[in-house]
Amino acid sequence: MQYFLQIVVTSLQSVSLAVFQPWFLLILYLVYWMYKKNYYLALQTALFVKGKIFEKMVQSLLTGILVGIGLSIVLIFLGIPMYFSEQMVFLLPIALVLSLFNFRYLCFSYAGGILGIFYFIARGLKSYGFGLPEIHLDIPGIIALVGILHLMEAWLVFAEGSRDSIPIVIKKDDSYAAAYLMQRYWPIPFSLLIMEFVTSIPQGMIETPEWWPIMKNIITPPNPELSLIYTVLPITAILGYGDIAVSQKPEVKSKKTAVSLMFYSSLLIVIAIMSPERLWLQFLGIFLMPLVHEIMIVGNQRKEKISKPLFTFPKKGVRILELKADGVAEKMGMKRGDIILRINGIEIENYAHMKVVLSNYHTFLWFDVLSADGEEKYFEYKAYPYGINDIGIVPLMEQAVKVFRLEDMENVGLFRILKK
């Protein structure tokens, strides 16, 4: 128990230091840019935004810090270390450069894959006599780090991946449909367990169990006079989730994505634990790390392109694209994608007709609604004594303020945002 408490205290201290690093401030600014972009995107379609940028920033920051603390405790408690060489500092800069072209590349799976491939190329060239500088990279540690980060991402996506999804109108097969853009970002300050070689053991070391660490034999001392110790290093990462729900509800799609990420991260963690003495397994892990990640994303995008949209423009009635916060429709329990068929027994032709019906300021309203699952529902609302003429919805309309293409929404990078 004392061993676990020492780890918790060490993790809290290290995460606190990571929060005040320059990299963390840069990532916070990047997250702000992304939420600002989403803010104006929501204004283009829904003409209002649920929640302010500051509120979303605070929520992402607090969630990221809590996840970072949990990640640090797991890394240190299980003993998943990394040998932090000079070349390791390139992980985050590579990820940031890749994000200029597409935000899905703001991920250590791609940055770690690129760094690992350069390592194996340099190692191969040196074996043929090329005079290249020595490159020290802990490949199992990189694979483990990416695996654990994506395990954290899977939990975050499962818990809140669909929160604040942005409604957009798309045109597909010459018809209009609703889609929902899911974009969430979390700055993650955490502690990385680092291996170091020292001439003498410093004081204040934590006594660890015999089974610790779970990853052994990653590296051996360059000479027998040096001793191997493990320390913690405060570090910063960013986890992001970007997806578009067209053929499924956002909450359903985000949970399916989370399950896929859990399998992906579990595969990488198993490879990392088994690979310290197996060079071929290290190469396989570095190769699979970006490849499987890209296959999951591209395959998911292709499925959305060929699948039939879930929320299409109805022949009769009004399809709800979005609900205003604390509006009448939301209070009654209506959902995104529902179709308002009748109001007070009057069949609704379209949104213009619905506005005419509501212009009478009825003090009592009842609605016949068809849900996205095909279930007919009944709602009623009392508006004594003045009545209402607005139930607080954004309808799916053919004459939408802005219509988007799926291709444009799937391939967005910093270059494009800065250009705008």
Q: What domain count does the chain have?
A: 2
Q: Is the pLDDT of residue 286 over 90?
A: yes
CA distance 191 to 74: 10
The answer to the question of residue 411 being in a domain is no
Per-residue pLDDT of 100-148, as tens digits, reads: 877 778 788 999 999 999 888 888 887 777 766 667 788 888 998 899 8
- How much is the CA Rg of the chain, to the nearest whole Å? 26
What is the pLDDT confidence band of residue 16, given thresholds at 50, 70 and 90?
Answer: very high
pLDDT at 385 > cutoff 50 = yes
Least confident of 38-42, 54-58, 337-341, 402-406: 402-406
**Confidence band for 401, pLDDT divided at 50, 70 and 90:** low
pLDDT value at residue 405: 64
The mean pLDDT value for 371-388 works out to 90
Average pLDDT over residues 319-324: 92
State yes or no: pLDDT of 7 exceeds 70: yes
Based on the domain organization, do 298 and 336 belong to the same domain?
Answer: no
Angstrom distance (rounded) from CA 158 to CA 184 = 12
Bridge partners of 236, per DSSP, are 189
Same domain, 270 and 329: no
CB neighbour burial string for 224-245, b if at least 16 within 10 angstroms, e if fewer:
eeeeeebbbbbbbbbbbbbbbb
Single-letter residue type at 340? I
Are 182 and 299 part of one and the same domain?
yes
User: What's the confidence (pLDDT) of residue 417?
Assistant: 47
Dihedral through CA 217, CA 219, CA 220, CA 221, nearest 10? Answer: -140
Q: Is residue 227 part of a domain?
A: yes
Q: What pLDDT is recorded for position 399?
A: 66
Q: What is the CATH number of the domain that holds 388?
A: 2.30.42.10
Q: Are residues 289 and 330 in the same domain?
A: no
Q: How confident is the model at residue 317 (pLDDT cuts 50, 70, 90)?
A: very high
The verdict on 284 and 171 lying in the same domain is yes
Where among 267, 289, 306 does a domain terminate? Answer: 306
CB 116 within 8 A of CB 137: yes
Do 301 and 321 lie in one domain? The reply is no
Question: CA torsion, points 293, 298, 304, 305, in degrees to nearest 10?
Answer: 180
Top mean pLDDT of 124-133, 208-217, 229-238 is at 229-238
Is the pLDDT higher at 122 or at 47?
122
Q: Are 205 and 228 in contact (CB under 8 A)?
A: no
For 279-306, b where at least 16 C-beta lie within 10 A, e where not — what string? eebbbebbebbbebbbeebeebbeebee
Looking only at the bridges linking them, the beta strands covering 175-198 and 227-245 are antiparallel
pLDDT tier for residue 419 given thresholds of 50, 70 and 90 = very low
Reported confidence tier of residue 413, pLDDT bands at 50, 70, 90: very low
Residue 286 and residue 218 in one domain: yes
Would you say residue 239 lies in a domain? yes
Give the end of a domain, one of 272, 306, 340. 306
137 touches 323 (CB < 8 A): no
Domain co-membership, 204 together with 75: yes
- Mean pLDDT is lowest, of 11-25, 109-123, 150-164, 201-215, for 201-215
18 with 160, same domain?
yes
Model confidence at 339: pLDDT above 90: yes
pLDDT at 410 over 90: no
Specify whether the CB–CB gap between 144 and 215 falls below 8 A. Answer: yes
What average pLDDT does this structure show over 354-364? 93
pLDDT at residue number 108: 85
Of 352, 334, 342, 341, residue with least CA distance to 393: 334
170 falls within a domain? yes
pLDDT band at 158 (very low <50, low <70, confident <90, very high): very high
Residues 235 and 344 grouped into a single domain = no
Q: What pLDDT is recorded for position 404? A: 67
Q: According to the model, what pLDDT value does residue 369 have?
A: 96
Asked if the model's pLDDT at residue 204 lies above 90, the reply is no
Beta carbons within 8 Å of 366's beta carbon, 6+ residues apart? 343, 344, 345, 378, 379, 380, 381
Q: What is the pLDDT of residue 415?
A: 43
Is the CB of residue 112 less than 8 Å from the CB of residue 142?
yes
Q: Are residues 189 and 326 in the same domain?
A: no
When pLDDT is averaged across residues 179-203 and rounded to a whole number, the result is 85
**What's the pLDDT score for residue 99?**
80
The 3-state DSSP class for residue 218 equals coil
- 382/380 Cα distance (integer angstroms): 7
pLDDT of residue 207: 77
Q: Which residue has the tokens 């892990």?
A: 285
Could you give the 3-state DSSP secondary structure of residue 381?
Answer: strand
302 and 319 both lie in a single domain: no
Residue 241 lies in a domain: yes
**Residue 261: pLDDT over 70:** yes
Look up the domain containing 351 and give its range.
Answer: 315-395
